Structure 1
């Protein structure tokens, strides 16, 4: 089989990129309902902004010659410390986001069983979900990939059905009543909903790291990521808007199972319970895949020397069990520190934190893009403008997450400098007499 036969074309890569952005579906209708259906303005602004970001990331993937994904991009300008900080921040974002997914599983389960869980009980069951989904990865990569695909379908299919059949039950009066329950101005509503709408797109950046798997990447990758981003934006606007015209906003904004509630309103409680069961399985399956992704990120960092070397150890099936157990323990502690009166509020807090830390490597990658293109002999103005816009939008998105999320997210990033100092000695050697007059010299 030729090398070309192993590569995917424009359509295939567009589908793969779209799939990487389907994990934000499950709780989004509840989150945007807290702002109101005026959040459609935020959807439009976020979709356009992420399309520009996606184009910039496609250029990063095109020009990159270093390993480490987002960290490799950052290394062009910020050196090894930048490589570490970008991947460390991304790992923290995944760590927090996965806790949010665990909370989603518990939220939908509580709605399915029609029970209200006290905060500590909810934290306990979310911890159980994290333990089970982590252990499920110990049996190898192949099973994880299969579970991830099935989980994606279990969530996407109900959302697609909602986009079509929901139109028959859409009530313009309900949508109008949900328009602006808090009396926000349009700029304030965009800012208030931005972290939730951006959540729907997170994951697009990872697709741009697979340039070597795509036919004619210079042409196909930018087109694919822009098309995929536009599709996710339209898809997300469609299902959230339809649900906001079916379920009264005061009910939707506090629902632990928004899709189940919407289907129950349309077709009765039995169908609603069935959809909730699908969403529970889909969300749990997605968490298995994301725990695996996080474990691999930590293993890679351990191999490079950025994280403890024990993170690089794998079992006989190639799974970094030690790294995954450590991250699971941190996640359980995180659940206890983010306990809130309701599961919706706890999910909200975690989304804001994950978004802040996820945007740090975005900014570093955008800052490095112009250097990356010049290192390959290019000097494209469109690429430079996209990078500047992407960085500015990322800064705005961090701001829109709120003071608490920015403070705690920043503290997590600053903690990374301590970790970098602790492990930097693995790739530097001390000064010796006769060497140039520097305190430390990097190993080549």
Structure 2
């Protein structure tokens, strides 16, 4: 057994941590602005995401690839698609990581109110980013062990919040604030879906780190499904436990809803403990995401789609230069997206991250059906694959419709930008070979 490889239990906990750590700590505040009707957002998002999880596991079993859904889509649709999806997923990871850092600093502001100032918040976020970038250079094995511990702590806190919610629940709590969006019920549910879906980003994380996993054909599918189910249940418990425990007017303005709920129910000491534990959980989830974010760019570099320096690894098999370059970009975005509150900055960032994640998901869903047809499987013999892929595809398209127009515009501009970038990649590759531009076969 390779000591540097991640096993089933550790990978499941990493998957749970990646999903929960990416959004659960601020999502209750975002959803509170919509109202308790957002429970339907969780349900619809859960069904759609479960179908995505099934598609990812089927791809891992049928067409294993060390780069997961990115490599699988590339094998199906060709090198440009793989290039575009590698860049897209890479951006998803590091933009999402910025939102995660902002969440962590929001909880730090529970102890240091000066961090509520946008400029100080940006400075603190940058310091935390660089600290955990250096820590990520230690490698995946160390990271997974840290996340195993912090994920268990997170599960304990979420269960405690659920118990507090039951204890403090009063009849009429949810009905009194059922729809606070000012929109129709269907529109209100749609507004919540993007935030709920954000909480599950990282679902595919197990598959895109296949070269870091023991027995990936077995380990990745189990960890993906188990991690999703655990995360889904915990998200609902946390959201509505807090909703029942904390007065509505405090919840909608909170930058640390977990800690504020604990403080309100059990007193300042409990609030301090939950705030401190949340900070630890958030930033060690960040540590795992930093390792994850380096993988798409590394694989693309190994295939000649990005400069070789993006794939160069250190003694711990971590692409160090890759991580450092990304940290520079992330630092710039932290200051470029400064907003009046942590929740607002978080909301702006997740819209872009959700869009750039949806694009790889749609290609992955389509790839499953194409691969099955190419293998000569009859339609009647792949009914479950078709059903899951169809539901997942409809869900992905629907999520895109819930993103604000400005977010869609930025996302589409990014996708279009990959076309001239890929042209440059082809030119550079063929110049290095000293020959004419060769046709790239799909």
TM over 0.5: yes
How much does 1:123 deviate? Answer: 1.3
Other-structure match for 1:84: 83
Other-structure match for 1:206: 205
Q: Check conservation: 1:20, 1:207, Cα contact below 8 A.
A: no
Q: 1:430 to 1:374 in 2, by over 3 A?
A: farther
Q: Which moved more, 1:323-332 or 1:313-322?
A: 313-322
From 412, 415, 419, the counterpart of 1:413: 415
Q: What aligned pairs does 1:217-296 form with structure 2 within 5 A after superposition?
A: 225-226=224-225, 228-296=227-295
> Structure 1 regions of 5+ residues with no counterpart?
none
Other-structure match for 2:42: 43
Q: 1:386 to 1:170 in 2, by over 3 A?
A: same
Q: Which moved more, 1:41-50 or 1:61-70?
A: 61-70
* Distance (Å, rounded) in 1 between the aligned partners of 2:189 and 2:394: 16
Structure 1 residue runs of 4 or more that deviate by more than 6 Å after TM superposition: 11-16, 220-224, 429-433
How much does 1:136 deviate? Answer: 1.5
Other-structure match for 1:308: 307
- Any idea what SS the aligned residue of 2:393 has? helix
> Which TM-score applies when normalising by structure 2?
0.88
- Any idea what SS the aligned residue of 1:112 has? coil
Other-structure match for 1:159: 158
How many residues align structurally? 432
* Distance (Å, rounded) in 1 between the aligned partners of 2:11 and 2:97: 25
Q: Check conservation: 2:301, 2:309, Cα contact below 8 A.
A: yes
How much does 1:292 deviate? Answer: 1.7
Q: 1:120 to 1:113 in 2, by over 3 A?
A: closer
Q: Check conservation: 2:98, 2:334, Cα contact below 8 A.
A: yes
How much does 1:278 deviate? Answer: 0.6
Q: Check conservation: 1:63, 1:376, Cα contact below 8 A.
A: no
Other-structure match for 1:31: 30
* Distance (Å, rounded) in 1 between the aligned partners of 2:324 and 2:404: 31
Other-structure match for 1:21: 19
Q: Check conservation: 2:15, 2:206, Cα contact below 8 A.
A: yes
- Any idea what SS the aligned residue of 1:206 has? coil
Over aligned residue pairs, what C-alpha RMSD do you find? 3.0
* Distance (Å, rounded) in 1 between the aligned partners of 2:387 and 2:314: 46
Q: Check conservation: 1:359, 1:394, Cα contact below 8 A.
A: yes
How much does 1:408 deviate? Answer: 1.3
Q: 1:265 to 1:387 in 2, by over 3 A?
A: same
How much does 1:13 deviate? Answer: 7.9
Other-structure match for 1:397: 399
- Any idea what SS the aligned residue of 2:34 has? coil
Q: Check conservation: 2:164, 2:265, Cα contact below 8 A.
A: no
* Distance (Å, rounded) in 2 between the aligned partners of 1:183 and 1:423: 48
Other-structure match for 1:61: 60
Other-structure match for 2:178: 179
Other-structure match for 1:423: 425
> Structure 2 regions of 5+ residues with no counterpart?
none
Other-structure match for 1:440: 438
Q: Check conservation: 1:174, 1:247, Cα contact below 8 A.
A: no
Q: Check conservation: 1:25, 1:155, Cα contact below 8 A.
A: no
How much does 1:416 deviate? Answer: 2.4
* Distance (Å, rounded) in 1 between the aligned partners of 2:331 and 2:79: 30
Q: 1:140 to 1:382 in 2, by over 3 A?
A: closer
**1:337 and 2:339 are equivalent in the alignment:** no
**Alpha-carbon displacement from aligned partner over 1:407-444 (angstroms, at most 9, x marks no partner):** 112222222223322222455579999xxxx9623499
Q: Which moved more, 1:236-245 or 1:309-318?
A: 309-318
Q: 1:154 to 1:216 in 2, by over 3 A?
A: closer
- Any idea what SS the aligned residue of 1:205 has? coil
- Any idea what SS the aligned residue of 2:60 has? helix
Q: Which moved more, 1:401-410 or 1:375-384?
A: 375-384
Other-structure match for 1:328: 327
* Distance (Å, rounded) in 2 between the aligned partners of 1:215 and 1:413: 30
How much does 1:321 deviate? Answer: 1.9
**Alpha-carbon displacement from aligned partner over 1:370-428 (angstroms, at most 9, x marks no partner):** 11112334231331232222122111111212111111122222222233222224555
Q: 1:232 to 1:317 in 2, by over 3 A?
A: closer
- Any idea what SS the aligned residue of 1:305 has? coil
Other-structure match for 2:191: 192
**1:96 and 2:98 are equivalent in the alignment:** no
* Distance (Å, rounded) in 2 between the aligned partners of 1:430 and 1:225: 40
